[in-house]
Amino acid sequence: MKGNFIVLAFFVAGCLLGTMGSKDFEVPNVSLYVLYALMFQVGIGIGSHKQLKELAGSLRFKMLLVPLATITGTLLFSAFASLLLSRWSVFDCMAVGSGFAYYSLSSILITQFKEPSVGLQIATELGTIALLANILREMMALLGAPLIRKYFGRLAPISAAGVNSMDVLLPAITQYSGREFIPVAILHGILVDLSVPFFVSLFCHL
């Protein structure tokens, strides 16, 4: 929760700095370098995971169905959202949904990929929507974990958590779904995490 407010604080500070700064400031170059840094951090985070080796040895095909269901369900309902949002196309909505609660990476990716086709202002607006939507998803998954577990089953908190099932929301998943679901949650988070750049890039270019 604290991390979400820190991200929002940096976002607001960036907006204020942008309005007061020079118009010659090369924003696209800065965002590109931030994107490279984020992708590097994603690789380090996945590669250094303490339970990655044990997890690889305990893989079962059924475990892959959980991230598959998360990705399919998220993209499907993101597409339905476009029926209510006339300004944004179905692919724009699916690009936002493709963040899977990874708000920092998805928002920068969307802004970077959409800028050449729609301009910086529209791309920034869509990136901001992705930031807020994916922060909201994480907060709802965290605060609503007990109710999600109660009404939708023990795998539901994992799916709702998106990429955060392997880190931020893992304690809540352990508490409400059970310790036996920890390997599923970690694998789910890793696979969904890896899918974010692919799906965001795909839908931004359609």
DSSP 13-49: HHHHHHHHS-TT--HHHHHHHHHHHHHHHHHHHHHT-
Residue 197: its H or E element: helix 182-204
pTM attached to this predicted model: 0.76
Number of domains in the chain: 1
* pLDDT, one tens digit for every residue, the chain (206 residues): 555 566 667 667 766 766 665 555 455 556 556 666 766 766 666 666 565 556 656 667 788 899 999 999 999 999 999 999 889 999 999 999 999 999 888 998 999 999 999 999 999 999 999 999 999 999 999 999 999 999 999 999 999 999 999 888 988 998 999 988 888 898 899 899 999 999 999 999 99
Q: Which two tokens stand for residue 114?
A: 């959409």
Q: Which domain holds residue 160?
A: 2-204
Q: Compute CA distances 60 → 57, 68, 187, 189, whole Å.
A: 9, 14, 10, 15
